[in-house]
Amino acid sequence: MPGTGHGRLLALALRCYPPQWRARHGDEARELAALLAQDGLPARSMAWDCFKGAARERVAQMRTTRRLRTGAAALVAATSLAAVSLLVSMSPAPAGAAGVVRADITSRHEAARQLAAVFKSHHFGISVVQLPVSPSLVGSILATKTTGHSTGNDGILGRITGTCAGGARVCTKGLLLASHFSGHMLVMVGRAAKPGEKYAESAEVFRPGELLAGSSLLGTTVAAAVPVLGRLDLSVLWKVDGDKHCSAITPHGWYHLTGGLAISAVSICLDVAPSAQPATGPRA
Amino acid sequence: MALRKLEPGGVGHDVLRRAGDASVLILTSLAEGPKHGYALIQDVKRFSGVQLGPGTLYGALDRLELLGMIEALPVDARRQPYRITSAGAVALGEHLDALERISSVGRLRLGFGRA
């Protein structure tokens, strides 16, 4: 195939890709195309697929460097740029992984420091704020907020998700940022709470890693849960179905537990709702 | 700051929805085990009937790697194998759950509901 007209077309298509892409995938893509051609896939359709792929790569580069406003204009410009690249053998232009900066959290207890180091090294106006959180949220990104004069959320290209502390899913473990981002932003990160400190953010108390994970209390009646909670030495508040606030008043014993949040390491607020048919009436 | 219940799941589905169909097919293939490009294309064609071209394949692989959903393994015989990460597995699971919900609703509305 390499010597045929279609083979040459495919080679031309591959040359339309940015230099970084060719350096990484070029050889393997050529080999892959040869194998697919042996399987009967037309070289012309592979070449077209590669032309489209090259245009997408160029669009991605241009979006991050020039912030083109319309997709049609970007596509036309990208195709033109690809053609120019092909014809005049444009010299390699460093794109810094297509203008994307990746800020990852790999250690729960170093989360804030890891993010701050990446932001600092790229001279971003991004501050990291640590908030006390329930156990499964430690080392996760809780929220981002633009501050002052800013380009809005233009800087965040995506969020990297992963498993939360304790195994629950899904927590935000990193950000993909446009390298051109010039605004100001706060990134809020969860940290372990100090003894007695209230959580600023809290996850469902029954999910893995949280206070009542594996307790089997979810769905049980209040009457059955109260003695167990007493043994755990927890201060328990209750929120009956429909209420806005937690209350210290223990609901009817035949109500059942439907969820809850931790307020601190020693205090929780449990959601309860009446069971469909109370078997023995109120006796909490 | 007020205490706030976080929405469970959904993030991975949203990310994959934006990443495109090829990304879902690739993650589904890698859920079986690590593969290089040619093996991925063959497997995807086998289970879905979709023929991925080289341009689509490498574009999707780059996006998934950037999102932390797959990772490149050491090159084996000039071929670059990839494997799914735990984040990728979670995102794929969420996405498939969402598709299942949509599929159920669609079937019901078309009158194809299960008896």
- Among B23, B26, B45, B58, most A C-beta atoms within 10 A, so best to mutate, is B58
Kindly report the length of chain A: 284
Residue A101 corresponds to which amino acid? V
Task: Return the bridge partners of B64, or none.
Answer: none
Interface contact flag, A49 B53, Cβ < 8 Å: yes
The ipTM of this complex is 0.72
- Among A25, A45, A130, A136, most B C-beta atoms within 10 A, so best to mutate, is A25
Query: For the whole prediction, is pTM greater than 0.80?
Result: no
- Among A45, A161, A239, most B C-beta atoms within 10 A, so best to mutate, is A161
Positive or negative, the CA dihedral B62, B91, B23, A157 is negative
Looking at CA atoms only, how far is residue A85 from chain B in angstroms? 17
What is the three-state SS of B65-108?
Answer: HHCCCEEECCCECCECCEEECHHHHHHHHHHHHHHHHHHHHHHH
Residues 6+ apart with CB under 8 A from A35: B38
Residue A21 corresponds to which amino acid? W
pLDDT digits (tens, 9 = 90+) for B1-35: 333 333 334 555 556 665 568 899 999 999 999 99
State the burial class of residue B33 (Cβ atoms within 10 Å of its Cβ: 0-12, 13-18, 19+).
exposed
In angstroms, the Cα distances linking A238 to A245, A259, B114 are 8, 10, 40
State the burial class of residue A133 (Cβ atoms within 10 Å of its Cβ: 0-12, 13-18, 19+).
buried
**A161 chain-B contacts, CB cut-off 8 A:** 11-12, 15, 68, 87, 90-91
Task: Return the bridge partners of A236, or none.
Answer: A268
pLDDT digits (tens, 9 = 90+) for A211-242: 888 888 888 889 989 888 888 888 899 988 77
Chain B residue with minimum CA distance to A269: B3
Q: How many CB atoms lie within 10 A of CB A192?
A: 17
Task: Return the bridge partners of A268, or none.
Answer: A236, A262
pLDDT digits (tens, 9 = 90+) for B33-90: 999 999 999 999 999 888 999 999 999 998 888 888 899 998 877 788 999 998 889 8
Ordered per-residue pLDDT tens for chain A, 284 residues: 545 666 778 888 888 888 888 888 888 888 888 888 888 888 888 888 888 888 888 887 776 555 545 555 555 555 555 554 444 333 333 333 457 788 889 888 899 999 999 998 888 888 898 899 999 899 999 888 776 655 445 577 777 878 888 877 678 888 888 777 777 888 889 999 888 888 988 888 888 888 888 888 888 889 989 888 888 888 899 988 777 788 888 888 888 888 888 888 888 999 888 876 544 444 43
Chain B residue with minimum CA distance to A262: B3
Say if CB B19 and CB B64 are below 8 A apart.
Answer: yes
Which residues between 52 and 91 in chain B have a beta carbon less than 8 angstroms from any beta carbon of chain A? 53-59, 62, 66-68, 78-80, 86-87, 90-91
**Cα–Cα distance between A160 and A155 in angstroms, integer?**
14
**Cα–Cα distance between B101 and A111 in angstroms, integer?**
35
Of the candidates B37, B55, B86, the beta carbon closest to that of A52 is on: B55
Residue-level pLDDT at B5: 36
Residue A196 corresponds to which amino acid? G
Q: How many CB atoms lie within 10 A of CB A194?
A: 9
Q: State the angle between helix axes of B54-66 and B37-48 in degrees (0 to 180), rounded to the nearest 10.
A: 100
Interface contact flag, B67 A160, Cβ < 8 Å: yes
